Each structure stands twice: as structure tokens, then as C-alpha cells.
Structure 1
Amino acid sequence: MMFELLHTNDGARAGKLHLAHSIVPTPVFMPVGTQACVKGLDATDLGEILQAKLILANTYHTYLRPGAAIMKEFGGVHNFSGFNASFLSDSGGFQAFSLGANVKKTDSGVWFSSHIDGSKHLFTPESVLDMQYALNSDIMMVLDDLIALPATQERLALSVETTTKWAKRSIAYHKEQKDLGKASTNHLFGIVQGGVSEQFRTQSALELRELDFDGYALGGLAVGESAEEMYATIAHTTPLLPESKPRYLMGVGTPENLIEAIHRGVDMFDCVMPCRNARNGTLFTHFGKLNIKNSCYKNDPAPIDPACACYTCTRYSRAYLHHLNKAQELTYHRLATLHNLSYYLELMRAAREAIMHDKWLEFRAEFYAKRQA
């Protein structure tokens, strides 16, 4: 069994992902390791200090460099990076989406120009899986047709049609590899599209459900819609997906986003926000965000978050972090990133504990009460 649903409480779910390289308790937040690393951290930081069980690697970036050949030579991204727990790899579809004018979508796949040297490349449903096999990802994502919001009905319809078409090709190709005795530990997730339209989300979810993926992701959110529209779309879509399969909300977001998505039945998350915000001076705490650049922290002996027991908070003061940031010391990036990721990972652990003990609603209310205080 890949996913074990252990308990539900008022819509929130607690479970376990059984993967080749680790057992992952859910809900889970995945630190984003775009270039086969989380910016500013190494495998020891991730595995021993943060005790992360699952991180995300980016197919687009690792395809361009170091490339599939080197990944195969090292036996996959685990050996290459030194992080021995599990990896989820995206398909590269979001990066293709974000390249804008340098992208051309066709029936066969996505043509794009490398942001490194301008060279032309084609991602197909099959080729992105080949790259993910080279990574030896524990969880792989299919190529999908992601669009910005708002979008016309015609473009939403085309996105769902293309996503389903590519999903069928992906799962057929994945089955071929398994029939050849390969890909036995590489699990494949489908991605539900459809914007904020209940009609198109229903169509996409039901079409993908028929293909029997190992798990299902909600894609195409946090791309221009309001938070209320996103939450309504999540609430509409999750009941359409198999209860026995993991549900992954891609690229979202703030601590509030995570709490609300858990409340609506989501199990897995990733986002660059905790790492990017840390580098830019914004630190997350139980009581809201803190901008370490502010001069009020120049002489502050307190930790970033008095309620946090992370590596950074138990060793260093706000004054020291403020100094490192002002001095543009690289050490700041590591310590700030360790704190923000620790906050996110601990939020997931505490949420899971509350769900398992039927205290989810109390936990959710306390989460907001601390912020209001």
C-alpha cells in the first residue's frame, strides 16, 4: 500500500505515505529543492535538523542541468544530493507556463527555450517521465496544461482536454515501463485542472479518476484567483477524488492556506514561500510574520519566535539575525531558512496530532487566535 489513511476529523485527514526511501506522515509540507537542493541548506540540514521525509525536485531545472545522463550515472537524485529520504518531482509544466513568450504548446507537448542558453527543447508526457525515472523520484507528476486565471471557458475546456489526453499517454507509458520490470518504486500522480469552474474541475477529476493514478494533485491554483475562490475550488474537488489516495495541492502557500486546505481534505503541500521569504527577511512565527530587517530588532535578545524550538531559535537572537541580514552574510540565509521550514514542518506535525486526537477544530481555532493576539 502506498497511502494509508489513518484518521479523519471534521474533514481533515491524517495518514502515511509508504515510499521506497521513507515513510511520510501526512499532512506533509515538502521543502522545494529546485536544483536538487533546498537553497542555503544541505542534506544534513534537511535530514537531521529538520527531519524532512519528502522534498520536491524540479524536472525542468534538473533536465537542463546537470541532465538525465549524470542523474542516471549517480543512480538518481538521492545519491546525487546526499538526501536519502524521499523525493517528489514535478513535471516541469509550471516552469514552461512561467516562461511565457518562450513557450509553445502543441498537441504533442510543450516547446520551450532554455532560460540558460536559449536552446530549444520539447517536453512530452513521455519525455518528462523519462527525466523523472532518471531522478528515480519516489513520486512523479504528469505533464499537464496549466493556465493563468482568469481564463475563458474555451481555454479552460482546452486545458482540461489536453491535461486528460496527456494523462492517458503518461499512465500508458508508465505501465509499459512497469511491464518491462522498471519503475517499480516510482509512483505517478495525475493533476486535476479546470480553474475555479466547478463544471471543469468535476470533469477533470472524474476523467483522471478513471485512470487510477497512485495519487491526485490539484493544479492550476494560486495563479490569479482569490483565496475564497481557491478554497471553494478545493472544497468542491477533494470529495471527487478517491478517499484512499493521497491529495496534493501544488504550489500553495501561506500557513493560512495550508490550514484551510487541510480543513478541506488535502494531504500534501509544497511552496517556495518559506525559503524565499526567509532570504528576503520575512520570518514566520506562531503570532504572524516578522520582518527581521526592521531596526527595532537591532538590540532584541529574544529568539525569532518564543514558541519555537528550532535550531535557529534555540541558539540565536533576533539581534544576531538582524545583523547577519544587514551585513549580507550567507549564514543568514541558512539560519533563516532553517527557521521558516521548521515552522512549516512543525505546523504539519501539530496539525496531524490534532487530527489523530479529534481536536482539529480546536487546533484550527487556536492557530487563528494566536495570530489575532
Structure 2
Amino acid sequence: MKFERIASDPNSKARAGSITTDHGVVETPIFMPVGTAATVKGVHQRDLEQEINPDIILGNTYHLYLRPQTDIIEKAGGLHKFMNWKRPILTDSGGYQVYSLSANRKIKEEGVKFKSHVDGSYHFFTPENVIDIQRKIGADIIMAFDECTPYPCDYRYAKRSMHMTHRWLERCLIQNEKSPFLYDYTQTFFPIVQGSTYKDLRLQSAEYIASKGAEGNAIGGLSVGEPAEEMYAMTEVVCSVLPEDKPRYLMGVGTPINLLENVALGVDMFDCVMPTRNARNGMLFTAEGTINIKNKKWEDDFSMIDPAGYTFVDTDYSKAYLRHLFKVNEMLGKQIATIHNLGFYLWLMREARKRIIAGDFYSWKEKMVKNMDKRL
């Protein structure tokens, strides 16, 4: 993998760059649609590639491990071939999913024992086998196994957890170094900064992760319920330490406003289920604010979903029509809403990139944040 910085914003820490992988180039800043189970939920692969057109998508190690199981993916020749996706893929390590199974998992030094949400069977993730699982899945960028702490989190627990994440990282690095690539392309490994919302822990973790010299670095343990101001404060602390010549990935974030504010702090990569999950519930993101398309006010509104043409996807349907589809529970409604939201997220990041290169990102960001912080 190669990362190149192309431009920096003069009034913030925002930067535009490119990540070159064996499956193609990713222009940053970038939002990665979440393809949890080898599909971006509700979107046909053709529409994903031609309409939404992301440079990279994300797969989920925990879910793919359980279904269809990694041996099936390996027999198919890796996730790219299994799902017929020719562009880059990033996989998380499953740490967040294990965190979310708080009532059905036990964490210890060796790893995490957890109960499958599918059939109740028990499984064990270790730093070593998570690397092996991601080898079989075959993503271009793979993640270290970490513990994601909850919010709020006691300082002593956050500190213990951070140090265990660091010890797990050492084991991941050893396994990553000695395990061969399974397919005809390389994989790039990202470690993860932890430390909850404590500045001293975040600094310590960022310094430790930076010292490993990885080709990219991730920031985990945020967007877990903390106020946005705390998220931004921790991101700013971490980005002040992580090397400027490596991509920075903020995991699991977030709203369109979260994305722009974190781009301004120096983050390059994002992922979140929000645009797809909210779309399936009738919540649409636009440059003028959010729309609950189920509301009666849209019943006879025949204006387009995005009349200003901010997104580049073909969702030229009226609000009244989309509301009708939701009211009669037609699948097409969820599909249109999902394509719209993902299209908006991708447009937002591409426009941010243009603004960074042009040198007027900060003023544009301030205007966009104000506009998007409305309920229409």
C-alpha cells in the first residue's frame, strides 16, 4: 500500500490524499459503505458500483466468520471473488462486535470467548486467529484485534484495557509477519488506538501505535455513546501524534456532521452503518438537513428527494412517492433511500476533497455543518 498526501487545508488539519492498493486507488477523505455480510445491505452490486461508486467498502470479520464461514470464502478465492467486487476492501477485526455482545462474551488475556448471535454456539477470538481469519477473507486492509471500551468507562478499566490492546497488538504483529498472503495480492495491517475519553491514555496509546511504523493507523473506541465534543477532542489529541504521512481511519463514525468535523481534524477514512440503517427506517440525509420521509408532511410533496442535485446518484423520485413506498412497505422504498444516503455520504467526502485542494474547505465545512444540523 502507498499513501500520498496531495493537498492540505490552510485553515484546518484537513488533507486530501490517495491510497494505492493492489485492487485500485482510494481517494481520501473517504467514506466506506459497510458490507457487513459480503453485501452492502439493500443495494445491488451493480447499483453499488455504478451509482454510488465507492473506491472501497468494508467487510465485517465477526459476521463473515460466522456466515458464510471463512473456509467458504477461502474456497471462493477470497471475499473479492465471493461477492464479485473488484475494488479495495477493508475488514475490521471483530473487536467492536465482540464489545457489543457484552452479555455473551468473556474477555481474558488470551482472547475473547463469545456466544454466536446466530445459533448460540461458542467461539474464541485471539489476536492470532483474527489475523488468520482476515487472511482467508482476503481484504486489502486488515485490522488489529482490540478491545473496544464502553462509554462511560472507569479510568482504571480504560487503562487496563488499553494496555491489553497493546499486548494483543504485539501478538497480531508477530502473526501478521509470519503468516503468508493466501491470494495474489498483498494485505496491509492497521493497528488501533484506544484509551476511551481520557486524554492521557489517548496520547499514550497514539504514541505506542505510532512507534510500530504501520502503513496506516486506526482510531477505535469512539462513537460509542460519548458526546460529539468528546469524540472531537480525542480525535484531535490522537491526530496530533499519529504520523502525517500515514492514513488515519476513524472507526464507526458517523453522521455527516461528524465526518466533516473529523476531516477538519486530520482524519482520512470513515465507516458507519448509519446511512444504510437510517435509510431503511426512512431517515434521509441531505445538504439542507435530515428528512423523516414517513412524516405526513411529505404525502403530497412532489419535489425531488434532492432537488438541489447535491448527490450524483440517480434517485430522481419525489418525496411523495418515496413516502408511499414506505407506507405500503415496498422494498423499493428502502433501496431508493439507501442509495440516496450512501450517495450523499460519498458526495460529501468527494466535495470535501475538492474543497481541500481548492483551499476553501474550512469555510465550506462551517456552512455545511450549519445547514445539515436541521430537521426538515
With normalisation by structure 1, the TM-score equals 0.96
More displaced, 56-65 or 209-218? 209-218
CA separation of 1:369 and 1:276: change in aligned 2, threshold 3 A = same
| Secondary structure in 2 matching 1:349 | helix
Query: Which residue identity does 1:76 align to in structure 2?
Result: G
Query: Which residue identity does 1:293 align to in structure 2?
Result: K
| Secondary structure in 2 matching 1:278 | helix
Query: Which residue identity does 2:168 align to in structure 1?
Result: W
Question: Within the alignment, does 1:95 sit opposite 2:97 as a pair?
Answer: yes
More displaced, 169-178 or 286-295? 169-178
| Secondary structure in 2 matching 1:15 | strand
Gaps of 5+ in 1: none
Query: Which residue identity does 2:176 align to in structure 1?
Result: H
CA separation of 1:182 and 1:210: change in aligned 2, threshold 3 A = farther
What is the CA-CA distance between 1:224 and the residue it aligns to?
2.5
Equivalent residue, structure 1, for 2:46: 44
- Given that 1:312 and 1:336 are in contact with CA atoms closer than 8 Å, whether structure 2 keeps it comes out as no
- Given that 2:250 and 2:269 are in contact with CA atoms closer than 8 Å, whether structure 1 keeps it comes out as yes
Equivalent residue, structure 2, for 1:284: 285
Gaps of 5+ in 2: none
* Counterpart selection for 2:136 from 134, 137, 142: 134
- Given that 2:247 and 2:268 are in contact with CA atoms closer than 8 Å, whether structure 1 keeps it comes out as yes
What is the CA-CA distance between 1:34 and the residue it aligns to?
0.6
Cα distance in 2, alignment partners of residues 57 and 215 from structure 1: 18
| Secondary structure in 2 matching 1:56 | strand
| Secondary structure in 1 matching 2:179 | helix
Question: Within the alignment, does 1:5 sit opposite 2:2 as a pair?
Answer: no
* Counterpart selection for 1:63 from 40, 65, 77: 65
- Given that 2:196 and 2:222 are in contact with CA atoms closer than 8 Å, whether structure 1 keeps it comes out as yes
Equivalent residue, structure 2, for 1:350: 351
Equivalent residue, structure 2, for 1:272: 273
1:1-373 pair list within 5 angstroms: 2-9=2-9, 10-178=12-180, 185-308=186-309, 309-313=311-315, 315-371=316-372
- Given that 1:47 and 1:53 are in contact with CA atoms closer than 8 Å, whether structure 2 keeps it comes out as no
Q: How many residues align?
A: 371
| Secondary structure in 2 matching 1:121 | strand
| Secondary structure in 2 matching 1:284 | strand
Query: Which residue identity does 2:155 align to in structure 1?
Result: Q
Cα distance in 1, alignment partners of residues 17 and 38 from structure 2: 26
What is the CA-CA distance between 1:182 and the residue it aligns to?
7.3
Which whole-Å deviations, capped at 9, do the CAs of 1:35-84 have from their partners, x for residues lacking one?
11011112211111111111110000000011111101111111111121
Cα distance in 2, alignment partners of residues 244 and 341 from structure 1: 28
RMSD over aligned Cα atoms: 1.5
- Given that 2:77 and 2:183 are in contact with CA atoms closer than 8 Å, whether structure 1 keeps it comes out as no
Cα distance in 2, alignment partners of residues 66 and 181 from structure 1: 18
CA separation of 1:202 and 1:283: change in aligned 2, threshold 3 A = same
Cα distance in 2, alignment partners of residues 231 and 78 from structure 1: 34
Which whole-Å deviations, capped at 9, do the CAs of 1:1-55 have from their partners, x for residues lacking one?
5211111112101000101112000000000111110111122111111111111
What is the CA-CA distance between 1:282 and the residue it aligns to?
0.5
Percent identical residues:
45
What is the CA-CA distance between 1:184 and the residue it aligns to?
5.5
CA separation of 1:184 and 1:80: change in aligned 2, threshold 3 A = closer
| Secondary structure in 1 matching 2:86 | coil
Cα distance in 2, alignment partners of residues 225 and 183 from structure 1: 41
More displaced, 77-86 or 341-350? 77-86
- Given that 2:31 and 2:349 are in contact with CA atoms closer than 8 Å, whether structure 1 keeps it comes out as yes
With normalisation by structure 2, the TM-score equals 0.96
- Given that 1:310 and 1:339 are in contact with CA atoms closer than 8 Å, whether structure 2 keeps it comes out as no
Runs of 4+ deviating beyond 2 Å: 180-184, 308-313, 368-373
Which whole-Å deviations, capped at 9, do the CAs of 1:278-298 have from their partners, x for residues lacking one?
000110011100010011211
What is the CA-CA distance between 1:181 and the residue it aligns to?
8.7
